[in-house]
Structure 1
Amino acid sequence: MVDIRIPGSKSITARALFLAAAADGETRLSQPLRSDDTEAFAEGLRRLGYAVDSSRDDEWVIGGRAGGPPSAEAEVFCRDGATTARFLPALAATGRGSYRFDASEQMRRRPMAPLTDALTALGVKIDFLGEPDHHPFALSTTGIDGGALTLDASISSQFLTALLLLAPLTRKGLRIDVSDLVSVPYVGITVAMMRSFGIEVDVDGSTYDVRPQVYRPQAYRIEPDASSASYFFAAAALIGGEVTVPGLGSGALQGDLAFVEVLEEMGAHVRITPEGTTVRGGALRGGTYNMRDISDTMPTLAAIAPFAEAPTRIVDVYNTRLKECDRLEACAGNLRRMGITVDTGRDWIEIHPGTPHTAEIETFRDHRIAMAFSVAALRVEGGLTFDDPGCVKKTFPDFHPVFAGFAAALKS
C-alpha cells in the first residue's frame, strides 16, 4: 500500500483567503495550496491593500479588514485563476474605491456575466474594457447595501459562492434565489467555511439568506485537494495496488471525494474512514455516471474509461465545456488521437473500450487534462507525451515528479 500526501485544496485555499481578508483581524491558514492560482489570489489581496505573508509553505498569515479593501485604488491581474477572477471583484465591491481587473487570455474567454450582472444590480458600477461581461473591466463602488437577487447558476457555482462570501459585508444583508445550480457540493464548502468563520447562513431549498455580520479571524487548516487526489485514486483503480490519501476522509468538505464512489461502482475497492480514503484496484466495468456535481473529475474518468470492460458514458457535464478549455471535446479529441472510439453530445461523452496507443496529448493549457491523461499513460505501451506538461503549475506544480514516484511505488 502507498500513502500519498496531496497538496491543500485549491477551492478551500481560495475561499479561506477571501474569508481571512474579510475577517476583522489576523488569520493563519495552515497547509494552504501553493500554486499559480493561489499565488495569484494572494497577490491580488496584496494589490487591494491587505497584508499577506506567504513566505512559509505550511502557513500563510493574512491581516483582515471588515470594511472592504484597505486600498481605494488597485489594478489586479488574476492570471488563469477563475476563483481569483470571480471572488476578488466581489471582495473589492464591498469597499470604497475604484479597481481594475484583468486576466490571462484563457481567463478572458471565460464568462463573468452572472457575477457582473449581480454586482451591477446591487449598485456597483462596472465598465468593460474589452468584450462585455468578460475581463478586463473597471469597478467603482461605495459599498453594497444588499437586497434580493435572482441568480442563474447553470454555468458555474463560483458566481453563487462569490455573492455568498460578500453577503455578510453588505449593509442590509443579501437574499439570493438560485436556479439550475451546478457543482452543488462546492456551495456546501462555501457555506460550511462561512460558518466556521462565524457567519450564519440560512438555506431554504434554493434560497440563501445572509444578514450583515462580521467574519471572525482564526487558525484554519486546509484539507488535501480531492480533485488532485482523483488522479492517484484512478491510478490505483487502473493498474492495481492500493493507495491511501491521509487527511481526506469521511469528514472532508469537498464533494469531489465522491469520485471514489464512481470508481467503486466501476469495480475498485474503496474504504473511507475519518483519517483518510483508500482505493484498491479491481477490474473496471464501465457504466453510466452523472458527474454534474463532480465535473472537475470528469477528465480523470474519461482518461481511464478505455480500459474498462464495457463503454463508459458520462452525462450532465455541459459546464465542463466552459472551463479552462472545452474539457469534453479535449478529452474526446485526445482519446481519438490514442485510437479510441468516442461519441459526444452537448452534455455527454461515451468512451468505448480499446487498446490505446502512444500519442501526444493536447492539453489546451488545462491542468486537469494533463494530469488526467498522465493516469492513462500508465497503461499505454510507449506512454504518452504532452504538448504543455508545465500547465499543472496552476494547481499542482510538482505533479509530474510526485506522480512518477507514486506510480513506481504502486507497481513495486
Structure 2
Amino acid sequence: MSVVAVPGSKSITNRALFLAAAAEGTTVLRRPLVSDDTEAFAQGLTALGYDVEPGPAEWRITGRPAGPAAAAADVYCRDGATVARFLPGLAAAGHGTFRFDASPQMRRRPVAPLAQALRTLGVDIRHEEAEGHLPLTVVADGIKGGEIELDASLSSQFLTALLLTGPLTAEGLRIRVTGLVSAPYVEITLAMMRRFGVDVVRDGDTLSVPPGGYRATTYDIEPDASTASYFFAAAALTGREITVPGLGTDALQGDLRFVDVLERMGARVDIRPDATTVSGTGRLSGVTAAMRDISDTMPTLASIAPFADGPVRIEDVYNTRVKECDRLEACASNLRRQGIRVDTGHDWIEIHPGTPASTEIACHGDHRIAMSFAVAGLRIPGGVTFDEPGCVKKTFPEFHDAFGELCRGWGL
C-alpha cells in the first residue's frame, strides 16, 4: 500500500484567506496550500492593505472587518478564478478604488454574475474592456445589503463570493439562487463561515446572510480532494492501493465523491474518519456518471476511460467548458490524438474503449488536464509528454515529482 500526502485544498485555503481577512482578530491557517493560486490570493490581500504573514507550516492573517486598509490598490489575480471572483466583494465592503486584472486566460473567463449582483447592491463596478470580464474597477463606499437574485449555473464561485461578503454589509443579504452548479463547494463555504462565527439560514432557494462580521480562529486546511483524485485513479487503473490521509468521512469537499465513481467501475473503496483508500482490482467497467457537482474531476475520469471494458459517458458538465480552458473539448481532442473514439455534446462526453497511443498532451494552460493525463500515462507504453508541464503550479507545483516518486515505488 502507498500512502500519499496530498497538499492542502486550494478551495479551502482561499476561502479561509478571505474569512481571515474579514474577521476581527488574528487567524492562524495550518497547512495551507502553497501554489500559484493561493499566493495570488495572499498577495491580493496584501495589496488591499491586509497583514498576511506566511510561514512554512502556517499563515497568520490579521483581519479588518471594516474592509481594506488601502484607499486604492491594483490587484493582479494571475490565473486565479477565486482571486478574481472573491476579492472584488471584499473590496466592495470597504472604501476606496480597487482595480482587478488577471492573465489573458482569466480575462477570458466570466465575472458578469458577480458584477451584476454587486451593481444591484449599489456598488460602482466598471469594466475597462469587455463587459462581464476583467479588468474591472470597484469604486467602494461600503455595501448596505438587501435582496438579490443570482444565476450560479456557470460557477458556484459567484454565490460563494456573495455569501462571504454578506456579513460585511450593513443589513445583511438575501440571495435567491435561480441556478447552481458544483453545489458541494457552496456547502464548503457555509461550513467554513460557521467556523468563523456566521450562520447562514437557508429557505428553499433563498439564503439569508446576517450582518455582524466574522470572528478570527485557528483553522486546519484539509488535503485537496480534486488533487487526490489523480492518485485514487492511478490505483484503480494499475491495480495498486493508495491511501490519502486527512480525507475521510468528515471531509468538507464534495470531490471526494469521485471515489464513488471508481467504486462503480470496479475499484474497492474504504472511507474512514481520517483517511480514504482506493484499491484497484485489475478491471474497470464502463459507466455513466453525472458529474455536475464534482466536475473538477471530470478530466480525471476521462483520461482513464479508454481502459474500461465499455463506454464511459460523463454527463451534465457544461460548466467545464468555461474553466481554465474548455475542458470537455480539451479532453476529447487529446483522447482523439491518442487514437480513442470520442463523442461529445453540449454538456457530455462519451469515451469508447481503446488502446491509447503515446503522444504529447496539449494542456491548454490547464493544470487539471496535465495532471489527469499523467494518470493515463501509467498504462501507455512510452507514457505521455506535455506541452506545458509547468501549468501544474496553479494548485500542485510538485505534482510531477510526487507522481514520479509514486511510479518509481510501483516499479512503473
TM-score (structure 1 length as normaliser)? 0.99
Residue 195 of structure 1 deviates from its aligned partner by 0.3
The one-character-per-residue Cα deviations of 1:288-323 (angstroms, maximum 9, x if unpaired) are: 000000000000000000000000000000000000
SS of equivalent to 2:21: helix
Q: Which residue of 1 aligns with 2:400?
A: 400
In structure 1, how many angstroms separate the alpha carbons of the residues matched to 2:407 and 2:244?
14
1:278 equivalent to 2:277? Answer: yes
Q: Which residue of 2 aligns with 1:324?
A: 324
Q: Which residue of 2 aligns with 1:22?
A: 22
Q: Which residue of 1 aligns with 2:148?
A: 149
Q: Which residue of 2 aligns with 1:179?
A: 178
Residue 221 of structure 1 deviates from its aligned partner by 0.3
In structure 2, how many angstroms separate the alpha carbons of the residues matched to 1:300 and 1:10?
17
1:333 equivalent to 2:333? Answer: yes
Q: Which residue of 2 aligns with 1:259?
A: 258
The one-character-per-residue Cα deviations of 1:171-192 (angstroms, maximum 9, x if unpaired) are: 0010000012000000000000
1:121 equivalent to 2:120? Answer: yes
**Percentage of identical aligned residues:** 65
Moved over 4 A (4+): none
Q: Within 5 A, what are the aligned runs for 1:221-260?
A: 221-260=220-259
The one-character-per-residue Cα deviations of 1:146-183 (angstroms, maximum 9, x if unpaired) are: 00000001100000000000001100010000012000
Q: Which residue of 2 aligns with 1:305?
A: 305
Q: Within 5 A, what are the aligned runs for 1:87-98?
A: 87-98=86-97
Q: Within 5 A, what are the aligned runs for 1:7-86?
A: 7-54=7-54, 56-86=55-85
The one-letter amino acid paired with 1:165 is L
In structure 1, how many angstroms separate the alpha carbons of the residues matched to 2:306 and 2:204?
39
The one-letter amino acid paired with 1:59 is E
Which stretch of structure 1 is more off in the superposition, 318-327 or 196-205?
196-205
The one-character-per-residue Cα deviations of 1:71-96 (angstroms, maximum 9, x if unpaired) are: 11100000000000000001000001
Residue 411 of structure 1 deviates from its aligned partner by 4.4
Q: Which residue of 2 aligns with 1:217?
A: 216
Q: Which residue of 2 aligns with 1:3?
A: 3
TM-score (structure 2 length as normaliser)? 0.99
Residue 407 of structure 1 deviates from its aligned partner by 2.2
Residue 408 of structure 1 deviates from its aligned partner by 2.3
SS of equivalent to 1:263: helix
Gaps of 5+ in 2: none
SS of equivalent to 2:269: strand
Contact 1:236–1:410 at 8 Å: present in 2 too?
no
Q: Which residue of 1 aligns with 2:342?
A: 342
The one-letter amino acid paired with 1:153 is A
Residue 410 of structure 1 deviates from its aligned partner by 3.5
The one-letter amino acid paired with 1:163 is L
The one-letter amino acid paired with 1:17 is L
Matched pairs, number: 411
In structure 1, how many angstroms separate the alpha carbons of the residues matched to 2:201 and 2:126?
33
In structure 1, how many angstroms separate the alpha carbons of the residues matched to 2:121 and 2:40?
27
SS of equivalent to 1:195: helix
SS of equivalent to 2:180: coil
SS of equivalent to 1:180: strand
In structure 2, how many angstroms separate the alpha carbons of the residues matched to 1:310 and 1:205?
39
In structure 2, how many angstroms separate the alpha carbons of the residues matched to 1:240 and 1:262?
16
Contact 1:241–1:411 at 8 Å: present in 2 too?
no
